[in-house]
Chain A
Amino acid sequence: MRSRSARSLRSPRFLALGAALVCAAGTSVPSLGAQDIEERFPGVSLGLTYETRTLPALAIQPFSARGGGVAQATQVENIIARDLRYSDRFTVIDAIPAALASEEVDYALWDELGATWLVTGRIEGGGASAVLILELHDVVYREVAERGRFRIPETEAPGFRMSGHVASDSIVRWVFNEPGIAATRIVFSRRMEDGSQDLWVVDSDGENLRRLTSHRGGELGVPISLTPSWSPDGARVVYTSYKDEGLPRIYELDLRTGDEKQVPTPRPGDYMSPAYHPDGEFVYFAINGGGSSGLFRYNIADDCCFGSLMQGPSEDISPTFAPEGHMVAFNSNRLGAGAPQIYLMPVDASRRPEIVSPYIYGTPGYYTSPDWSPVGNRIAYHGRVERRGAHQILVAELDAQNRVRQTSQITFRGVNEDPSWAPDGRHLVHVGERDYGYGLFVTDLFTGNSRTLVSGIRPNPPAWSPPLAP
């Protein structure tokens, strides 16, 4: 891990230009005015738990092409520039004057512009055999810090954009030694006008929105599918659907083959809210009704071993796992119907569930939809601000013993629900409702930046994928 303090602009010649570029990159962290705050959750701090600091400036020199890959060079550069901005880790300087567009790296010039890092790219070869030579330059030490080669398909080929995203994540890893989020997708269900609901998927940068399932329903079936969840390898999605029986059942869709498996139903009841255990073999889910409710599991990899985690009169739903797989968080109304809370417990049920959400006797609140971060030991969920009002996203920071160290409210405008963590453990995708309608939004826990991922549709709970191959 390397770090650079922000550097001042020293040359009057570039002062105005540099300032304009930095402003255009939009790095300012929004401050929270009192008027933004609708109501406080008990014991919950507002906003970021992290000191906002100036992001290191990263410049992107226009990519060059040798041998016909000009279109690839331009488009990959645009993909990477946007990815790095969406990483919320850099002040990205990419709108540079044509005078700087050269294959030669003029470190002095970039230094004067205030850049700490410089990215250069060159496409060698063209068409299907093009290769991107990507270099990360340390402007301070005036040297190439990292270099990578990436196969780049033709611009119309299906893997083209994803190959650019993989290159973007390499830059994040080179600088911070942490996972990026560019080479990922978000799966969710979309409510259509006719009441049907299919699974859709979109790339992390909001491009490439497309339908994953096209269920019709039948004599008994109802074409409603929802609450998808990714397998740890990103190859499969497990979800709930009414498509066959008109009753909620759990299915696994193999994204490569299109094959489908159903979790068997040896017990009566509604099968819902599935999630993979980090081992990738077991799927955990809730069964409601049919006498008793609880969390159950099934080994979907081996088609065996239907079992129960816990059963009882309360509804325990929405399981989510610590990355090591030894702890599970879930949602339960055991403290009273109408007052659901977030709990965590060992997966072997060796200890009783402990409450995560800020429950206070008398004003219990309403907290649902937990998601345990893949890194950083945090649980995101949403809470009801007022009985008939909005929901906002909360994040509980856990210590090494999985006790809640601090809980923070991280969204404030509109209605925000159903968070899902990105692989970097700092970005969340969630459903949002604004004055202009519904959409999926991405909020960064560290900078407070929020962007629209998809708008103009009515999405249901999203799930952010692990890193995906191109």
Chain B
Amino acid sequence: MMYRRLLLASVVLGGLAVAACGGEPPPEPPAPEPQAAGPDLDSLRAYEDSVRAAQEAAARAAAERERAIAEAREILEQRVHFDYDESAIRPDAESVLRQKVAILRASPAVRIRLEGHADERGSVEYNQALGNRRAQSVLDFFGQQGLMAGNFQTTSFGEERPLSAGSNETAWAQNRRVEFVITAGGGSINPAQ
């Protein structure tokens, strides 16, 4: 089922993709000889083969691009985590953010909401502010990397939307995070150059 849908899509996209990937255009079918008694079966077969090859190449290219876009989206949506009561970007988070920056540079239409979260310790209102400060840290990092602040919005859910319900360090570490919600331009994600 999935395969058929992919094939269908590839046929539709075929014409565009061929030009995009610089493949050989299919040869013109030879003009029929006026005196020929019947159709030239060999040249017709060659023509059909070349069309099929081009379509398959286009399908492969489209699939590859789909995969790259999906991967880029995954990176864009990947959470980053924080230390207890901290809003500083950790080194592990920084490498994730750098990958996001490369994608966002290639995807100027994408708009993202940065949602900060806190673990359950500390007061409810303070944690709302802490979550916002974490989102703001990410925004500041993006700004330093030359991304437009206007493409982002920061907000916070405080401690109200934990990923993990436990009351232990493992759960808390998961819950201290910024989530990346694509609010617009989700169809215009381009893989990093």
Q: Which A residues fall within an 8 A CB radius of B?
A: 191, 195, 197, 222, 224, 226-227, 240, 242, 246-248, 268-270, 272-273, 286, 288-290, 293, 315, 317-318, 331, 333, 337-338, 340, 366, 368-369, 382, 384, 388, 391, 417-418, 460-461
Contacts and interface: CB of A to CB of B under 8 A. Distances in A.
Interface string B114-135: 0000000111111011001101
Interface string B53-88: 000000000000000000000000000000011110
B123 A369 contact: yes
A195 B123 contact: no
A240 B156 CA distance: 12
Nearest to A286: B129
A288 B156 contact: yes
Contacts of B87: 337
Interface of B: 84-87, 121-126, 128-129, 132-133, 135-136, 153-157, 160-161
Contacts of A242: 157
Given A289-B135, A290-B154, A318 B86 contact: no
Given A289-B136, A338-B85, A369 B125 contact: yes
A317 B122 CA distance: 14
Given A315-B133, A333-B129, A461 B124 contact: yes
Contact of B125 (A222, A269, A318): A318
Contact of B129 (A195, A315, A384): A315
Contact of A391 (B84, B85, B123, B155): B123
Residue of A268, A270, A337 most packed against chain B (CB within 10 A):
A270
A226 B124 contact: yes
Contacts of A270: 128, 132, 154-156
Residue of A248, A268, A382 most packed against chain B (CB within 10 A):
A248
A120 B133 CA distance: 59
A288 B116 CA distance: 12
A197 B160 CA distance: 9
A331 B85 contact: no
B125 A289 contact: no
A290 B87 CA distance: 16
A226 B160 contact: yes
Given A337-B87, A418-B124, 18 more contacts: A195-B160, A222-B161, A224-B161, A227-B125, A240-B128, A248-B128, A270-B128, A270-B154, A270-B155, A273-B125, A288-B129, A333-B129, A338-B85, A338-B86, A384-B122, A388-B84, A391-B123, A460-B124
Given A195-B161, A315-B133, A317-B129, A268 B124 contact: no
A317 B126 contact: yes
Q: Which 5 A-B pairs have the closest CB atoms?
A: A368-B123, A315-B129, A288-B132, A289-B154, A368-B126
Contacts of A333: 129
A268 to B, nearest CB: 7
Contacts of A247: 153, 155
Contacts of B86: 337-338
Contacts of A369: 123-126
A141 to B, nearest CB: 50
B136 A224 contact: no
B90 to A, nearest CB: 15
Nearest to A247: B155
26 contacts: A195-B161, A226-B124, A240-B128, A247-B153, A247-B155, A248-B155, A269-B154, A272-B125, A286-B125, A288-B132, A289-B154, A289-B155, A293-B129, A315-B132, A317-B128, A331-B126, A337-B85, A337-B133, A340-B126, A369-B123, A369-B124, A369-B126, A388-B121, A391-B123, A461-B124, A461-B125
Nearest to A461: B124
A197 B85 CA distance: 24
A240 B124 CA distance: 12
A272 B128 CA distance: 8
Contacts of A195: 160-161
A100 B163 CA distance: 61
A224 B161 CA distance: 9
Given A270-B132, A315-B129, A338-B86, A366 B160 contact: no
Contacts of A382: 123
B122 A366 contact: yes
A382 B126 CA distance: 12
A240 B125 CA distance: 10
A346 B98 CA distance: 45
Contact of B128 (A191, A273, A418): A273
Contacts of A331: 125-126
Contacts of A227: 124-125
Nearest to A242: B157
Given A224-B161, A289-B135, A461-B124, A248 B129 contact: no
Contacts of B129: 272, 286, 288, 293, 315, 317, 333
B155 to A, nearest CB: 5
Contacts of B132: 269-270, 288-289, 315
